[in-house]
Structure formats: C-alpha cells, structure tokens
Structure 1
C-alpha cells in the first residue's frame, strides 16, 4: 500500500509539474488516499528527495526532480526497500538451500525482469498515461445518454 499510494501521489505531482504546489488534501482527494496517511508519506518522500514541501496557505508539494528522472525502481527501493519476490534473493544466508536451489535461478530472473521494467518506467510515462486514461474516461462519460427523467 505504501508504494501504491506513494506512486499515486508522485504521479499526481508529475501531472502538475511546473505548476504551483499541490496541497496534500488535493492529492488525497484525487487519488483516494487517506489524508493523514498521505501526510506521513509525503514527509518520507520529502526526506528522500522526491518532493519539496512548503507549509502555509500557498504551500503544498512539488516534485524535486524532473518526472522523467524519477523511475519506479527508485521509488520502490525508497518506500519498500526491496523489489525482490523472495527474501532468499536479498538475504541468501538466511536460506539453508541458497547454494543448491533450482528455484533461485528462476526467481532471480523474475527479479531482474521486474527491476528492468521498474527502471524503465518513469513518472513522466505514468503521468502521460494517467492523463490519457482520464481524458478517455471523460469522453466516454460525455457520450453516455442522459438518464430520462423519473415520472413522479
């Protein structure tokens, strides 16, 4: 949940990159994130250098870097500390079968593939896709016939 909410918040900021700061309440509302949780999460993202936060009436949050320079792997590492599907890949000394496990090679390949996808996916990509999906949903909604009035 932490990574999901963190990415949602960062994508929201990426969609407004170059604009005025976005307030926590606005991000929470648009992304369906509980505001108290988001406040703590934004503090973490600020400390880790993903966002700049300003207090006050004109305050809010801005991305600290260009959206194309922030990838999902970096976000996941910061918020979760691990993108590995199994603990034995990050802590091989904890597994008595680490040196003789046929599964390990497969899971290592899975982890490598996941890492490649996460590294190749930037906030810029996600913000563009999010905007396109919102536009498509708005167009579909506009094409829906109006509900007929209910007779009284």
Structure 2
C-alpha cells in the first residue's frame, strides 16, 4: 500500500505518493483545493493508500504559522471524507526552499523552473521523503 503526502496551499495542493513498497517518494500532481476530495476518491478507486501525511507549516522558531488554520481545515476534510485512512503531520518548514533549490539545479528551462505547481509537487515529495526517513530512523 502507498503513503500519500500533501503540501497544502490555498491555491494549490502538491501531492506525492510512495511506490507500493513505500521505498521511494514520487511527485504526483497539484490539485486545486476545491477539487482534492474528488481527485482522491478517483485515485483511491485504483490505488490503496495506507496513510496520509500532511505538511505542517511552522515559523522558524517552531511556532505555528498563519496558514496553520487552513491546514487544520484540510485535515478535517480528509478525516470526514476518508475516515479509514490515518493522517500524520510532519514539519515542513524548509520544503519550499528545498524544492526551489532542487528545481534551480535541475537544468530545466527558466520558464519551467518558474511554474509554481512544480514547487508544490516537489515540496510534497520532500515532505513524503522526510516522513519515510523519519519512520525508518525510528524503527
């Protein structure tokens, strides 16, 4: 079964999933927040997801950021629509900066590097990879 991670934003949600063996995190897509439930319902008809991992925005000092209420609302939507799938959160403080650095070093053309969707998808992938690393460290 796969693990799915989200980089929540009010304009776009970056989505990443693991392979079925939960070894590698792969960027999947970005979805508009209003379309996420429909997207997930469709995805879950063909793929099994063991758990959701949601990036939790924090300030540099570790306190909750301004976007935290939006993320809490997103988690509530996930719980309501997919009650059988457990949800975990993970600190996402540096994911957008890391995603931008990955893109800058990727060799993509400037126009492609500036696509915000790409940053969101890569951020979700970094969130998922961080979760996998943390989990393997703890086991």
TM-score by length of 2: 0.26
Query: Larger Rg: 1 or 2?
Result: 1
TM-score by length of 1: 0.24
